[in-house]
Structure 1
Amino acid sequence: MVDRIRIFLSWCHRDAVLKTALLEELLPALRFTDLTVEWWEDSHLTCGEEFLPSILDRLDQADFGLLLLSPKYFASSFIRERELPRFVGPGADGGALPVALSPLPAFSPEHDLGGVERTLVFTREGRSFADLSGARRTRFANDLAASIRRRALSSNGYREL
């Protein structure tokens, strides 16, 4: 049984306020599971570290990528070229955990979403984290933590009636 996972947080810096709000709710919820979650994001870089090699090294170590999706996320060439292909698409070598951080464009041929459109994006009743407030944000984070746990433990199979 898996008891430890490494999550690479893939997010757009222009979404910093929403990312911080989500993590304030999500990280405590993840601590209530039977998993040990190790977390990394580029904000963890320290003085003197080389930006690109450090990020690529953490991508290599990650079991999953928590993809905080927004229109700004998809507009980032760095994310689209370096991070997203590691978790979705034909060359993916890590598990994708895509989350609607803010409302997304409709999945359609005119929007290139880098393969995310072929995955189930986490929402709460079809709404993004930004669409919610108060206790609904807490429930979003709690449900997301439960979904991450199920994915990490591969316990999303058949269930008894």
Structure 2
Amino acid sequence: MSKPQVKFFVSYAHANNRAKEQFMALFTEQTAAAKHFDYQFWNDKELQIGSDWRESINTALAETDFGLLLVSPAFLGSQFIVANELPTYLEQGGKRCFPVMLAPVDFDRHDFKGLQDQQIFMLHSSDFKAPRAFSELKLKRRADFSYALFAQIDDWLVANFKNDHAKLINEVAQ
């Protein structure tokens, strides 16, 4: 039996491209081995030369099932992200999003552009004084970060994604 496909949009600031690539390499390892869903992601590397990039982004936002928002100061400072991508997820009735702390953001000093009401994923550990962003972690912990995020998203999808698919998955799991 084929797994239901879920498509997600990866929103990030270009200033964080290196950290995004490192994160996505680890996260994609997790999604590639997923039991319940066939995960497909879209980011701006999908843009074809000569294509209308704004139209391509708008189409991807409309066609994907959820957003993976890689939060950093550069992300919050991006006028394009704030004006064109965040409204898809933050407006009334918007799509589901999973904000992820890619780089540290100061909750007291930075403007979260509407994300302040969203739970932002960070890695928690008894070894840390406070939860950490992906870019603050060493290699082993980055793998832990990616797995823990994947597990939370996968659990949410099993419980909530397209109820008919979720029921089928739960029946197969039992």
TM-score (normalizing by structure 1): 0.88
Say if 1:6 and 1:37, in contact at 8 Å, map to a contact too.
yes
Distance in 2 between residues matched to 1:48 and 1:14, nearest whole Å: 23
SS state of the match for residue 153, structure 1? helix
Alignment partner of 1:104 is 2:109? no
Corresponding residue of 2:82: 80
For 1:141, the equivalent position in structure 2 comes to: 146
**Helix, strand or coil: the match of 1:38?**
strand
Q: Who is 2:163 aligned against?
A: none
Aligned to 1:7: 8
CA distance in 1, matches of 2:26, 2:146: 6
Residue aligning to 2:116: 117
Determine whether 1:55 maps to 2:57: yes
Q: Distance in 2 between matches of 1:129 and 1:4?
A: 26
The separation in 2 between residues aligned to 1:134 and 1:97, in whole angstroms, is 22
* Higher helix fraction (1 or 2): 2
The letter for the 2-side match of 1:42 is D
- Contact 1:85 1:92 survives alignment (8 Å): no
Kept after mapping to 1: 8 A contact 2:73/2:110: no
Between stretches 41-50 and 64-73, larger displacement belongs to: 41-50
Q: Equivalents in 1 of 2:53, 2:93: separation in Å?
A: 21
Query: Does 2:39 match 1:40?
Result: no
Tell me the distance in 2 between the aligned counterparts of 1:75 and 1:58.
22
Unaligned runs of 5+ in 1: 156-161
Structure 2 unaligned runs (5+)?
125-130, 161-174
Residue-pair matches, total: 151
Q: Which gives a bigger RCO, structure 1 or 2 (Cα 8 Å, sep 6+)?
A: 1
Partner Cα separation in structure 1 for residue 14 and residue 110 of structure 2: 21
Q: CA deviation at 1:37?
A: 0.7
**Equivalent pair of 1:65/1:97 in contact (CA under 8 Å):** yes
Equivalent pair of 1:6/1:39 in contact (CA under 8 Å): yes
Separation (CA, whole Å) in 1 of partners of 2:110 and 2:104: 14
DSSP-derived class of the 1:114 partner:
coil
Shift of 1:151: 2.0
Runs of 4+ in 1 over 4 A off after TM superposition: none
Distance in structure 2 (CA, Å) of the matches to 1:17 and 1:129: 12
Deviation at residue 92 of structure 1 after TM alignment:
4.9
Cα-Cα RMSD: 1.5
